[in-house]
Structure 1
Amino acid sequence: MRISFLQFLFLFFLGLLFFADLPQLVDKTKQKIKTYIKRGTKK
């Protein structure tokens, strides 16, 4: 399967966007986990 240059560029930019958003996603999930743990300890 041969990938054309345009397809490669498209995948490359998709990867860049994904990895640029990754730290924010990790922070959001960490905050959700922290709030979930806090709620669990209050009970």
Structure 2
Amino acid sequence: MKISLLQFLFVFCVGLLFFADLPKLAKSVKEKIRGSKKSNN
């Protein structure tokens, strides 16, 4: 399977955006889990 340079750059940029947003995503998920645990108890 041959990947063109443009495709590689596109995938790389999308991956970079995803990984840059990952810490924020993890933080919000943890807060949501904490919130649901508090409301249950």
For normalisation by structure 1, the TM-score amounts to 0.91
Q: Structure 1: give runs of 5+ residues left out of the alignment.
A: none
Structure of greater Rg:
1
Q: Structure 2: give runs of 5+ residues left out of the alignment.
A: none
Task: Calculate the aligned-residue CA RMSD, in Å.
Answer: 0.4
What residue in structure 1 maps to residue 35 of structure 2? 35
State how 1:1-43 maps to structure 2 within 5 Å: 1-41=1-41
Runs of 4+ that moved beyond 6 A: none
In structure 1, C-alpha distance between the alignment counterparts of 2:35 and 2:5, rounded to whole Å = 45
Size of the alignment, in residue pairs?
41
